[in-house]
Amino acid sequence: MLSSDTADAVTQLAELRLEHRDLDAAIERMAQTPGTDELQLRRLKKRKLRIKDLIARLESGLIPDLDA
């Protein structure tokens, strides 16, 4: 059974992955649209990178430490 903290992290991880996927699709659409606001596109890309970092941090926190 998962602890409350672990369950919260798994839930947050799923939400972040969904947001990351949505941002990826939005960035792709904007990149293919002529006359796209480059500043907004850069902001979306930065947000996507921050989310990717959060996902990596959460995933590493879910891996149990093994004493060698």
pLDDT digits (tens, 9 = 90+) for 12-41: 999 999 999 999 999 999 999 999 999 999
Evaluate whether residue 54 is within a structural domain. Answer: yes
pLDDT at res. 4: 82
Q: Is residue 33 part of a domain?
A: yes
| 23 within 8 A of 47, measured Cβ to Cβ | yes
Q: Is residue 38 part of a domain?
A: yes
- The number of beta carbons lying within 10 Å of the beta carbon of residue 32 is 8
Q: How far is CA 9 from CA 29, 36, 44, in A?
A: 30, 35, 24
Q: Is the pLDDT of residue 1 over 90?
A: no
Number of domains in the chain: 1
What's the pLDDT band for 62 if we cut at 50, 70, 90?
confident
Query: Which domain range does residue 54 map to?
Result: 4-62
Residue 67 lies in a domain: no
Q: Cβ(24)–Cβ(48) under 8 Å?
A: yes
User: What average pLDDT does range 39-54 have in this prediction?
Assistant: 97
Which tokens belong to 2? 């998962």
Mean pLDDT value of segment 33-59: 95
pLDDT, position 2: 61
